[in-house]
Structure 1
Amino acid sequence: MDPDRAELADFLRRCRARLAPAAVGLVAGPRRRTPGLRREEAARLTGASVDHYTRLEQGRGARPSRQMLAALARALRLTDDERDHLFRLAGEEPPRTGDGPTQHVRPGLLMVLDRLHDAPALVYSDRGELLAQNALATALGGEFEPGHNVIRGWFTDPTARRFLPPEDHAAQSLSHVAQLRAVSASRPDDPHLVALVKELRSVSEEFDKLWAEHRVAMRRAEFKRFLHPVVGPLELGCEVLLTADCGQRLVIHTAEPGSESYERLRLLRVIGVQELGAPAPPDAPPAGRPEHAGKVP
């Protein structure tokens, strides 16, 4: 199926123009003339270069990959029907749902994510794939490409454990495996799950040993500790909210108001926002404020 470049370009332009900056957690500013998002903002949300995104809107350049199309659907807050239309215009079959829950995050859930300015929040699939994260979650645990599987990373990449205290690693490993066991039992014919388990059992002795123990538990509320390289240790509550079909989960980290972790999380908001080049939230503490000097290493 050949792409319809002219229709694809028109659809992208119109979707971008209708999307208000506030809908994706951006501040419009007083001098904005462009309706909706600017091209550079849309490009940043997709993880693409401005030049690559511009070529798509001009009907030029390379045919977008399926990964790029999925990123565009998330960035432009497309509905399921609009996402399918986008794929067809690009000459691709829309994602199938027969192999498990869709990885497309609905606009409503992304809207909730964007409005959680004071809490790190992420959306995962039940297979452990990161689908979306807000700015504070990026500041807390680093930025990953959409689709990055956190369970695979935990057992195959030593750097994936750097933000958690070593004494908490065993419990986190068990939690990952127990959840994957539960999901695998609910969808034994999901080829993605089967392949993931087979891969991890072959490359990680730790995973293989825990899998053989046959523990089952879905992750919900828990308590997590983080070791941030800039603001120091944080102790955060972790709430896991499931979607209606339980295929996606919104994970929210919170700190007890007035606690040291709460103050460090507030400071992290400023640091993360400054790195993104956006205005600081109105209720966040100014960077370098003296009363934080003694609290944050």
Structure 2
Amino acid sequence: MRARREGLRPRDFGLPTAPRRTPGLRREEVAELAHVSVDYYSRLEQARGPHPSPRVLSALADALRLSAAERAHLFRLGAAPGLPASPKRQVTPSVAAFLNRLPDSAAVVTDAGYDVIAWNALANALLGDLAGEPNIARRWFLGLGHPMEVSEGLSRVAVARLRAASSRYPGDVRISGVVTELTRASAEFRELWAADPVHSPGHCDRTVLHPEAGALELHSDVLTVPDVDQQVVFLTAAGAASRRWLDLAGQRLARQRE
């Protein structure tokens, strides 16, 4: 809430633009826009207040002019406690079976902390070394795992995933360990973490530098599994060259299974 408040411009609300001690709107200005008391707003922003009602959360989202993804994130943060201390890190049998029914698509399952916890054979051929280094954020920011991705926007997505996971599971040792490691190792990670990005899962384009095929252009689409706080990521070809390689890899894997 503080990050979004400080990112707002007073002139967009018809407020005086004289020099201010801090950027963005003042707390009392946001409180007035949301029709709550300044004390109540301040306690919420400092994580000292009670869990707000959906009506209050909606008013705050409107006052802060949040995007749809940011609004959903605010509602998750404001919900009453109920999640377990750590995310579920085992894939359900039905989802695992589903992966193997997709011979033409590379598919992986990621947990809340951005660890790949299951994958099909084509994903293993495409991404490689998922068992050795399963965490997407560590692979990206530390240059671990092969092949490497050069996807534009993956930095923001990875930080948003870890930010959200650390909010939902503040006591999880693995998530906090990954965040601490990346904070120490990567200036880009530190900068993005401070900005508190919010990402809504959906479609994006990705590029994988494969040692055999070179640059493979891929479509990435996400199916959420809300009951276990996991995501299934489908990687399909975005061009003819990528389609040919995936087809050949799929045929080779099929022969190996025979």
Does the TM-score normalized on the shorter chain lie above 0.5? Answer: yes
Residue 118 in structure 1 maps to residue 104 in structure 2: yes
Structure 1 residue 100: deviation in Å?
Answer: 2.4
Q: 1:111 to 1:102 in 2, by over 3 A?
A: same
Deviation of 1:118 (Å): 0.9
Q: Which amino acid aligns with 1:204?
A: S
Q: Does the 8 Å CA contact 2:128/2:146 hold for their aligned counterparts?
A: no
> Match of 2:242, as an amino acid?
S
Deviations 1:161-190 (CA, angstroms, capped at 9, x unpaired): 75324xx35x21122112212222333343
Q: Residue 247 in 1 paired to residue 229 in 2? A: yes
SS of the residue corresponding to residue 91 of structure 2 reads: coil
Aligned to 2:257: 278
AA in 1 matched with 2:91: V
**Residue equivalent to 1:131:** 117
AA partner of residue 250 (structure 1): V
Could you tell me which residue of structure 1 aligns to residue 148 of structure 2? Answer: 163
- Residues 99 and 192, structure 1, Cα contact 8 Å, conserved in 2: no
- The equivalent of 1:262 in structure 2 is 243
Structure 1 equivalent of residue 165 of structure 2: 183
Q: For structure 1, which segment, 175-184 or 113-122, has the greater mean C-alpha deviation from structure 2 after superposition?
A: 175-184
- CA shift at 1:159, angstroms? 4.3
Distance 2:215 2:186 in 1: 28
In structure 2, stretches of 5+ residues that fail to align are: 1-82
The answer (yes or no) to whether the contact 1:225–1:234 under 8 Å persists in 2 is: yes
The structure 1 residue matched to 2:209, chosen from 223, 227, 231, is 227
* Superposition deviation, residue 250 in structure 1: 0.8
Rounded to whole Å, the distance in 2 between the matches of 1:161 and 1:207 is: 20
1:129, 1:146 within 8 Å by CA — same for their partners in 2? no
CA distance in 2, matches of 1:219, 1:206: 21
Which string of whole-angstrom CA distances, capped at 9 and with x for unpartnered residues, describes residues 39-83 of structure 1?
Answer: xxxxxxxxxxxxxxxxxxxxxxxxxxxxxxxxxxxxxxxxxxxxx
Mapped to 2, the partners of 1:108 and 1:187 lie a distance apart of 25
Pick from 81, 90, 96 the counterpart of residue 104 of structure 1: 90
Partner-residue secondary structure (3-state), 2:167: helix
1:215 to 166, 184, 197: 197
Q: Match of 2:218? A: 236
- Count of equivalent residues: 176
Amino acid of the structure 1 residue aligned with 2:251:
V
2:174 paired residue among 182, 186, 192: 192
Q: How does 1:54-69 map to 2 (within 5 A)?
A: none
Cα offset, 1:272, TM superposition: 4.5
Distance between the aligned counterparts of 1:128 and 1:263, measured in 2?
A: 29
- Aligned residues of 1:154 and 1:161 also touching (Cα < 8 A): no
Q: Structure 1 residues 193, 141: closer, same or farther in 2, change over 3 A?
A: same
Query: Unaligned stretches of 5+ in structure 1?
Result: 1-96, 280-297
Q: Per the alignment, in what secondary structure is the counterpart of residue 108 of structure 2?
A: strand
Q: Return the alpha-carbon distance in structure 2 between the equivalents of residues 159 and 189 of structure 1.
A: 26
State the Cα distance separating 1:112 from its structure 2 match. Answer: 0.3
State yes or no: 1:145 paired with 2:131.
yes
**Gap change, CA 1:162 and 1:141, over 3 Å in 2:** closer
Contact 2:205 2:219 in 1 (8 A): yes
Shift of 1:223: 1.3
Which amino acid is the alignment partner of residue 135 of structure 2? N
